[in-house]
Structure 1
């Protein structure tokens, strides 16, 4: 049974500001919840949404005044009643229907719509300002606040004779969820909305000239083409999922509330190339047989891009992880092992970005791509300048050298300091003539000045084989930039300006790569603290950077367990898409799930879930046993990286997770050859002798932990203390059976140390460390922690996916990964958007039994 949300916070706002929330208070409240272990039980399948309506400021909610006191009057004759009733039927309800609430888009659910005597097309305010229907205008705000901005979509006299207008509101950047996260490049830019409400005529202040321009990622070209105006807009801002979406070109002046009320002022056209242009998406792209490529930044072992490619494949899109970047060399080895088609680079994303810029210069220098004259001379490139100070010892050859070394071939390229000489710049991996691979070395560009032909060959071959992406050549950039400065374990977090913390700079670097490469789509993932810490500053920044680069954007929070995993694991995802593309939606949950957690108050509407009361057709939530009960028993000291399964799968999840890659991509037929027959990485972190003896004494019962060991007593307040009637027990090593840190963890209130999981439970979150000292990670019946493979299954990794590196490193790779089923669902959403087959709604329902393969599994026999 799906539990309902306890309460819904108001999403009302002061002129589309969605209600200013005291960030510090919200942050403190959330932190207190975490510290005290007070977690609100919520459903991530069905939530009660707040009314999507803003409250007018007090200046527009004035008390009634006499009609003659108002300094405004309608001009001209009223709109003929027959026409008015046709255009605005909601204002003219027959006497017998009065009191009946009429559903009306943009109105408060519990508020009756104001009735009208008649409508007008023109009004005079303050004795000299004339407003016409569909004019744009400033509306009076509170003292000290900037005036509101609206389009007048109705002018009417109420049944009380008072003059009113209906406003459709524009948002400034600070009025949106971006807030103060970023200042947009252009102060005149505003965002149209679907929010409308009624206001007294005398709130109008002045007429405005607001033009609609065609969205363009070439910001310079767009701004140069904007005519003289007060404001311009190229996107709509929608409250659900904080969505910024390009304005449809078909906006016409409305003649009824059933039609759009957006101005028909001619669009300001902006010239652009195919990638940065603003052609409207009117037909699905034809991608049959066409390979689309992914750049996976902060890739880890590749879970996010793996899931995206699997999901896109289920929609018929050939999405391939072409490039991946990460600083963890073991994660890079794992990714390369499972994705041999991928160019995997073990380096920082900052160096990768610098390399991309230098690579573009090289391609221009050797006329591989078109470029300006600045890049025609290789010797004048910035890399040469950076390396001009290199020592003579770094040169390929010199007159004083007793031996001249000749370059046979260039093998690779990087940006940084691979020789560890303190000289950063562009370097090439060189194979020397007459020498073997053991003598290969990294040489600066300046040392290769006499090797133009060899450089040209390397660059041309590299361009053909796409060793590095060029601007406009990437279809999808995905990644989860680490923001360690928001961790609750960091006592020195910068709450005033999180971006100044070096530990958070990767968020900016990620966006800088997007800005440089201009991919068609962007998908960023991060922890929910991104929306909690410092009032959600970093989340607002990420959203704002995309919008500032003229990307459409949408933000959502998704729980892994809601997509077919036995763990909760809530994460933040932000979609971005060029104006030429459809903005991908978020897939609604496929499985029932109730979790205990704290949702950021100001981003409640971004929880990906069904509306409360909506009919649900979701699968039953999964438990630990559904995922791992088929795996063979292993000991604490297991050393094998490969072993036989030993038994057949017991659940649909287990049958599905054993499929080979081709079968997971949607092979039409399944048989016994569709499953892998070797189990990889099913070995645990070996506990030291003391911890192993402690684990062996933890009872094999549900909920067992260190509290069940002798000498521990639980007080009525659920905190632990030493039992004065029991003598403290010691291990053969002389260490206590119950360590002091277990008794004092979270002030003695935690039951996590040395805790056993149980087969009928859902795991909170897979973590990177396998030590049992402060988390529940023990196997239900075996005296060990969960193995690498068991953790990998909780993250949805297919069993064919192998991991590289020391044991602890493999746990880290799994714990840092994006849950594969979530990424797969998002990949399916990408496929729909890429083919133009999704609507503008922020969410959609996945096909029944997604990913559909499971429907064909029950009849297939799996050999042991």
Structure 2
């Protein structure tokens, strides 16, 4: 549009931490065809509505504002002589609460804002206050904005004062309600230049607009609604169940902790499905969650299987079917070796008796990927079951239909709409600092990061109500956080609300620092869950890019009621002494718990999970599982035996090592180099050169008053501090599990190294349980604008759970 008047440029909206628009210059405007049209708002009304503008007769005043990190600062505000409701710019009339484009720096697209004030300053200048809309690229989505419709903008709570002359033209922005029908949504989108359906607030939250923003005024605020804690009896069968799919489930710590957390408020999560490529992890979660459909398969194959399953359900028209008769299941189980009373057919004669399972992949390992069914052959037993491709079952339509109908009714696989909640931590090995070949320019093209795409594809297909994704904080550091931007962009593009946060396990009651990144997602009509505030003092180890410091939950806040940090001794000092050679998977406790942590972590399965399965013989027993360490080789064992038993001792305390004033280590050349029985050096060369000789980690010994940096997946003492305080071994599997908040009754499977990996990859119970509590609050209708305080601390909540699970005395066997 042609404009004869010279314009001044607007003050850029306070940028998101990911955007830095250039600060425009100001100039004196040409007031031709520019001015207020209405009579001034009556003085008493203006002062009531905008009191901050009438604090003094000076040109400017100051006001205290709260920043996104929780701190405050003094901000200058123009003082007003009078307010108005209408103005003209270039002959175009603008009214209060109109949307407009605001001039930006040369060569940059104009800003977009809502006009929330029109006023004349005490010095006579004509000003507006603008509340900004953000484009996707100006949010945490950054350069992944291609995922978002270019016409979609996000409203913010950031306001700035700008000269009236900064307005360039009107903007036609339609607000879309979160519950708007698809056809109405499309119609509204087609009749506007831009549309808005989401608020973007700091630190990095996208939430659905639940208020008509066209009627917002400066004094309007989002009201924080809360509901009191409601503790329903856990036996209440009337409550609705939240069905959960745990992707990349590992041994199930994340979904288990979430379930415990929601149950503290009387809600219920049922982990209906779990998927992981690691067979040992699947064995662990299946044991601890016997009613969960656990699938040991690649997530990408699982995604394809979901689509194939939907096609089969449509093909056989089974959705909602109740009138199709099924033959009763034969009394013999899938475990039987041969069907009783059936004559084994002669060689070459095969007839399908029934289909037992379905998968997508290459179960026969013949490099032929496709859709397969597990077949029980008539006259044969379990040992003769085979995986057959669907193409080979073309003459078995009746058996296929029967299998699909049974599977549909039992929900062996979820269809879109069946899953309420998806959680999981897609592995992104491509961001690891140990990966020398990682692609910093295009991380999404790296196959090692492809699982993030698969995770979001499954979310898009199943359309759950809630999503929770976990990852290492490196996702915020590597490649300018492109993977984080992609994850958020995908969720927002699917019309999910989103909220980002970083939680340190130690801040919630376990003796380790361990920081992890979390991303909440919620459907447009759901309440977006918050994060929980810390309950404990915690060491803040771990590096987070300054741009994302504010994502650390509790960052910058002062908490006067925080509990003291949990220490290593609080968690493990009651454990039986074991040796480097211990191989027992089960053993009794040999002493009573000496701390509240130990007492509660030792609760039975029945207390924590409500297990009443008579087949589980250990439900009520006090058995210690997995208290066995990784067995060190003979050389390493001899080295460990010579490391003194005090906190902080390490390889530097071994014979023949000198430490210089610069703390760099070297060998004492005046003495003969000490050697192991094998003849290898007692102090290995790699320890001397690690971190340029400045490290104290190799063969480092912990103290009972220590806080562990993080529980690792590989129990090697070569570059980690993980020796037991007073025993010559590394921390055992169970000791690591306690540092992660696993209850002792949570049993693990697989070789010892695999169990360490399951524990090291898990989300700490001290974190997943509070997250579950926050979800329960959202389920109960509580909406919080800031992280919420927890009414419990870990592991006291396990004791609370025990009291909620108490059954009437006559029902206790």
Structure-1-length-normalised TM-score:
0.83
Partner residue of 1:616? 560
Q: Secondary structure at the match of 1:123?
A: strand
Judge conservation of contact 2:604–2:622 (CA < 8 Å) in 1: no
Match of 1:580 among 519, 525, 530: 525
Contact 1:482/1:504 (<8 A) preserved: yes
| Correspondence 1:76 to 2:34 | no
**For residues 544 and 620 of structure 1, do their structure 2 counterparts lie closer, same or farther at Cα, with a shift above 3 Å needed?**
same
Paired position in structure 1 for 2:380: 435
> Which residue among 720, 729, 735 is the counterpart of 1:784?
729
Counterpart-to-counterpart distance in 2, 1:261 and 1:836: 15
Which of 687-696 and 210-219 deviates more?
Answer: 210-219
SS at match of 2:13: coil
- Shift of the 325–106 alpha-carbon distance from structure 1 to 2, 3 Å rule, reads closer
**Per-residue deviation at 1:101?**
4.2
Equivalence for 1:200: 163
Q: Do structure 1's residue 686 and structure 2's residue 648 form an aligned pair?
A: no
Match of 1:147 among 82, 94, 110: 110
RMSD over aligned Cα atoms: 2.9
- State the partner residue of 2:49: 87
Say whether residues 1:749 and 2:694 are aligned partners: yes
Name the SS for the 1:586 alignment partner: coil
| Residue correspondence of structure 1 range 627-642 to structure 2 within 5 A | 627-642=571-586
1:214 is displaced (CA, Å) by 2.0
Secondary structure of the 1:622 match is coil
Report if aligned partners of 2:471, 2:518 keep a CA contact under 8 Å in 1: yes
Contact 1:294–1:321, Cα closer than 8 Å, also in 2: yes
Q: Quick one: structure 1 residues 855 and 719, their matched pair in 2 at CA, closer, same or farther if it must change by over 3 Å?
A: same
Q: Deviations over 1:543-575 (max 9, x none)?
A: 111011100000000000011100000000000
What corresponds to 1:794 in structure 2?
739
Cα distance in 1 for partners of 2:360, 2:183 equals: 29
Indicate whether 1:348 and 2:313 are aligned: no
* C-alpha distance in 2 between matches for 1:811 and 1:551: 35
CA distance in 1, matches of 2:66, 2:288: 50
CA deviation string 1:432-471 (max 9, x = no partner): 0011111100011121122122112211111121111110
Confirm whether residue 226 of structure 1 aligns to residue 194 of structure 2: no
> Is 1:565 equivalent to 2:510 in the alignment?
yes
Query: How much has 1:144 moved relative to structure 2?
Result: 1.1
Identify the match of residue 23 of structure 2 among 58, 63, 80. Answer: 58
Other-structure match for 2:446: 501
Larger CA deviation: 242-251 vs 693-702: 242-251
| Cα distance in 2 for residues equivalent to 1:835 and 1:857 | 19
| Mapped pair 1:235 → 2:235 | no
Q: CA deviation at 1:106?
A: 9.1
TM-fit CA distance, 1:660: 2.1
Show the 5 A alignment for 1:373-522: 403-522=348-467
Q: Distance in 2 between matches of 1:744 and 1:368?
A: 65
Q: Does 1:124 align with 2:74?
A: no
Distance 1:644 1:89 in 2: 70
Alignment match, 2:716: 771
When normalised by structure 2's length, the TM-score is: 0.88
Q: For structure 1, which segment, 527-536 or 616-625, has the greater mean C-alpha deviation from structure 2 after superposition?
A: 616-625
Moved more, 625-634 or 213-222: 213-222
Change (3 A) 1:221 1:428: farther
Distance 2:776 2:487 in 1: 23
Q: What does 1:307-318 correspond to in 2, within 5 Å? A: 307-318=257-268
Aligned-partner Cα distance in 1 for 2:770–2:227: 24
Shift of 1:284: 12
Deviations 1:153-191 (A, max 9, x none): 111110010000000100000011111134234110000
Q: Deviations over 1:775-815 (max 9, x none)?
A: 11110110111100001111111100111011111111111
Partner of 1:244: 206
Confirm or deny: 8 A CA contact 1:106 1:195 kept in the other structure.
no
How far did 1:773 drift? 1.0
Name the CA shift for 1:559/1:203 in 2 (closer, same or farther; >3 Å).
same
Residues 72-131 of structure 1 deviation map (CA, whole Å, 9 limit, x = unaligned): 211132222222222222212255x998744568998322321111111221223x2221
Q: In 2, Cα distance between the equivalents of 1:616 and 1:644?
A: 40
Residues 778, 786 of structure 1: 8 Å contact kept: yes
On the 8 A contact 2:608/2:798 being kept in 1, the answer is no
Aligned residues: 754
CA shift for structure 1 position 218: 8.6
CA distance in 1, matches of 2:226, 2:148: 26
Contact 2:177 2:210 in 1 (8 A): no
Q: Which residue in 2 is equivalent to 1:258?
A: 219
Distance 1:70 1:684 in 2: 82
Paired position in structure 2 for 1:265: none
2:601 is aligned to 657
Within 1, Cα distance between the matches of 2:469 and 2:775?
13
* Higher RCO (CA 8 Å, separation ≥ 6 residues): 1
